[in-house]
């Protein structure tokens, strides 16, 4: 009986659970490496995202898309370094991802420190991660197809200006990521949910009856 009750309880938990998942697509980015002489600027570069490897499981639906940018540098000279990354020319992406909540294009992030970056000035820091910031979230289902299951879609143009100073092996990097949140449409068919709920109530009734008999 105990095993049956455990199964009932497990069924109720499954029935009440909201199943969801998330996949991160690395859209690639731009890199400037000083070798030698050091290149202290990143030429404006389009970043195009390839999401064709993502296959939405049957019975699941996309709930939202999150676009992230990441800026960084490495191997700076042992002085006070500062680099400003500029993201612009994103086209319709700004509207789709509610970029106006973070600020109008172009968007900037200043990354500073000494040999390695330790200070960031992001717009919309993502989950407290240094150097990673959230451009915005797209919750409009009609636009999901623009960014999902495509070979190439523009998600950003990035360059840098006013930077100093990298060592000969130093590098500037900027990258974009697309997070796809999706969930199952109907975790359990409604008749099954009702059956599990009824079984759970029956199990509770049996437990109560057993306790009364012992008393």
What φ, ψ does residue 7 adopt, rounded to 5°? -65, -40
Tokens of 140: 């409009």
Instruction: State how far the Cα of 130 lies from the Cα of 112, in Å rounded to an integer.
Output: 12
Measured in residues, the chain has a length of: 215
pLDDT in tens, the chain (215 residues): 433 333 333 333 333 345 789 999 999 999 886 554 567 888 889 999 999 999 999 999 999 999 999 999 888 888 888 999 998 765 455 678 866 555 566 688 889 988 888 888 777 778 777 788 888 888 999 999 999 999 999 998 999 987 788 888 788 999 999 999 999 987 555 555 444 445 444 444 443 444 444 45
Tokens of 50: 């390839």
Tell me how many degrees the CA angle 153-154-157 measures, rounded to the nearest 5. Answer: 160
Sheet with 45-49: strands ordered across: 45-49, 153-164, 81-88, 107-113, 117-121
């Amino acid at each position: 009986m105990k095993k049956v009750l455990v199964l009932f309880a497990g069924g109720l938990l499954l029935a009440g659970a909201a199943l969801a998942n998330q996949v991160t697509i690395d859209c690639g980015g731009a890199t400037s490496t000083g070798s030698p002489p050091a290149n202290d600027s990143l030429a404006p570069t389009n970043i195009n995202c390839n999401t064709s490897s993502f296959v939405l499981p049957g019975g699941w639906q996309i709930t939202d898309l999150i676009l992230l940018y990441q800026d960084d540098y490495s191997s700076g000279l042992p002085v006070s370094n500062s680099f400003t990354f500029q993201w612009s020319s994103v086209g319709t992406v700004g509207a789709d991802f509610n970029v106006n909540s973070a600020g109008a294009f172009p968007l900037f992030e200043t990354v500073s420190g000494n040999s390695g970056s330790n200070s960031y000035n992001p717009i919309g820091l993502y989950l407290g991660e240094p150097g990673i910031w959230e451009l915005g979230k797209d919750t409009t289902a009609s636009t999901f197809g623009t960014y999902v299951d495509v070979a190439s879609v523009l998600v950003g143009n990035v360059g840098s200006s006013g930077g100093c100073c990298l060592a000969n092996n130093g590098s500037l990097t900027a990258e974009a990521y697309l997070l796809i949140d999706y969930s199952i449409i109907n975790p359990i068919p409604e008749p099954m949910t009702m059956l599990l709920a009824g079984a759970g109530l029956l199990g509770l009734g049996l437990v109560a009856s057993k306790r009364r008999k012992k008393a």
